Amino acid sequence: MNSEAIEVLDRKYTIRILLFLLEKGETTVSSLTCIVSNYHVLRDTLDDMERVGLVSLTKEYTPRRRFGISLTPLGREVAGMLLDIGERMSKPGK
């Protein structure tokens, strides 16, 4: 993994967004405001996650512009690994 990808994973909200998307599936920017309340921080984080291949952003033009956000295969793999790490760490005696 390159250093840019590590920097993106190290950002404040990346892991929470990955796990949210793993649980919920495709979502919108507005549904992620429960994790990141500042729109500009959220958009910057999503743009960085898209650049390193963790999420896919799709624009839909209905009466309003809407962004669909989903995990890429790499994003699903990384989120699954993070979930597994969290489960292993929560087991007593490990």
Q: Which residues contact 15 (CB under 8 A, 6 or more apart)?
A: 9, 82
Q: At residue 86, does pLDDT exceed 80?
A: yes
Q: Which fold has domain 3-90?
A: Arc Repressor Mutant, subunit A (1.10.10)
| pLDDT tens digits, one per residue of 54-75 | 999 988 767 776 778 999 999 9
DSSP-assigned beta bridge partners for residue 80: none
Distance CA 35, CA 24 (A): 13
Q: What is the mean pLDDT of the chain?
A: 89
| pLDDT tens digits, one per residue of 1-42 | 588 889 999 999 999 999 999 999 999 988 999 999 999 999
∠ at Cα 64 (68, 72), nearest 5°? 10
